[in-house]
Amino acid sequence: MEVKPHTARVLVGRLRGAVATLDGAAAAAAVSEIRLASKEDPEIRAPLADAGAVATAPGVLDALTSALRSGHAAHHAAAVVYSLLCGGESHRAAVCARRPLLSALVALLRASPKPSTRATKDALKALFGVALYAPSRATLVSLGAVQALFALVMTDERNGIVEDATAVVAQVAGCAESLEAFRWVSGVRILLDLLEPGGAATPRVRENAAAALLNLVVAGGEAAAAEVLAVGGAEETVRELAEDSAASPRGKAKAEALLRALEGAGPAARRREHRLSDFLDGLVQSDPYISSPASASTHG
């Protein structure tokens, strides 16, 4: 029973030693070891966290930040960050409070030359874990995550990248601050285009796009609903997804919920704005995967 905790202490000790001596190469190697250990043995993730691989040792998080910016070790560092995010609520809060680390994750998405597919996917996976922590969403928006994510959605043709990027978009959309960022990149129009049947979007991308629009409306209320309705044919596009037999069940459910929210924001209902608010409150309570506007707009 003591083998895993001992191994975790040794691995974290190597990383601390590298940080203490400012040895970037050794830090990258230690990050790689931790990443491989957490990948091969999920049961070691908790001992790694307990050994001080998160906020109890700020230097470790600083080392991960440096590794994310180093290029060759970036995918290892991103994978370790994701593993640490799975270590419990207190560990997630500690990681998400490190703004330079979050900034490095976002920067990895728009690095030039383009990072490897593996590095990009690991960064997206880590950002998804960060965005699940509601107080961090506004921070991600302020760091330019919305622009970086939509750039991937529009230009990256690598296998699985758009699916992973839209999954992160769906979570980041769950804060009031995201609406303005979406406006800057025509995010609503892009997401509605992804809902269209017969296009390049996979069922998972269509599902993620519907979830993003729904989270945006839940977090942004009347203003967000109006933004969606301002795009010509928006309701018809959402309805097509809700009625599409080829769509995933979850995608259809998200589209149906979004359609109800949009119908509740129609011209007749705008004279009774409290009805949309009541509807959205009920929607949050009935679906734990929808971001709460109150918690999502809280700054960490």
Confidence label for 270 from pLDDT (cuts 50, 70 and 90): very low
Helix (H) or strand (E) holding 149: helix 145-155
113-157: per-residue pLDDT in tens? 788 888 899 999 999 999 999 999 999 999 999 999 999 999 988
Confidence label for 294 from pLDDT (cuts 50, 70 and 90): very low
283-292: per-residue pLDDT in tens? 655 564 555 4
29-56: per-residue pLDDT in tens? 787 788 788 888 888 888 887 877 657 4
Q: What single-letter DSSP state applies at residue 115?
A: P
pLDDT value of position 108 = 93
Handedness of CA 23, 24, 29, 30 (dihedral sign): positive
pLDDT value of position 139 = 97
pLDDT value of position 266 = 59
Asked whether residue 252 carries a pLDDT value surpassing 50, the answer given is yes
pLDDT value of position 86 = 79
Number of H helices, E strands in the chain: 18, 0
Q: Is 98:61 a contact under the CB 8 Å cutoff?
A: yes
Lowest mean pLDDT among 3-12, 143-152, 208-217: 3-12
Return the percentage of the chain with pLDDT > 90, whole number.
47
Alpha helices, H only, 196-272: 203-229, 234-242, 249-263
Helix (H) or strand (E) holding 31: helix 24-40
First to last CA, the chain: 36
pLDDT value of position 288 = 47
Asked whether residue 268 carries a pLDDT value surpassing 50, the answer given is no
What tokens does 70 get? 């180093």
Lowest mean pLDDT among 48-62, 108-122, 183-197, 245-259: 48-62
CA distance 27 to 42: 22
Phi, psi of 287 (to 5 degrees): -130, 105
CB atoms within 10 A of CB 123: 29
> By CB neighbour count within 10 A (0-12 exposed, 13-18 middle, 19+ buried), where does 175 fall?
buried
What tokens does 179 get? 């609406």
Question: One-letter amino acid identity for 247?
Answer: A
| CATH class of the 133-288 domain in this structure | mainly alpha
- Quick one: how far is CA 244 from the chain centroid? 27
Asked whether residue 299 carries a pLDDT value surpassing 70, the answer given is no
CA distance 36 to 33: 5
What tokens does 201 get? 């979007």
What tokens does 243 get? 């009625």
pLDDT value of position 25 = 64
pLDDT value of position 296 = 37
Lowest mean pLDDT among 59-73, 218-232, 286-300: 286-300
Domain ranges for the chain, please list them: 1-114, 133-288
Mean pLDDT of the chain: 83
157-177: per-residue pLDDT in tens? 887 999 999 999 999 999 999
Return the percentage of the chain with pLDDT > 70, whole number.
83
Asked whether residue 7 carries a pLDDT value surpassing 70, the answer given is yes
pLDDT value of position 57 = 55
Mean pLDDT computed over 5-32: 79
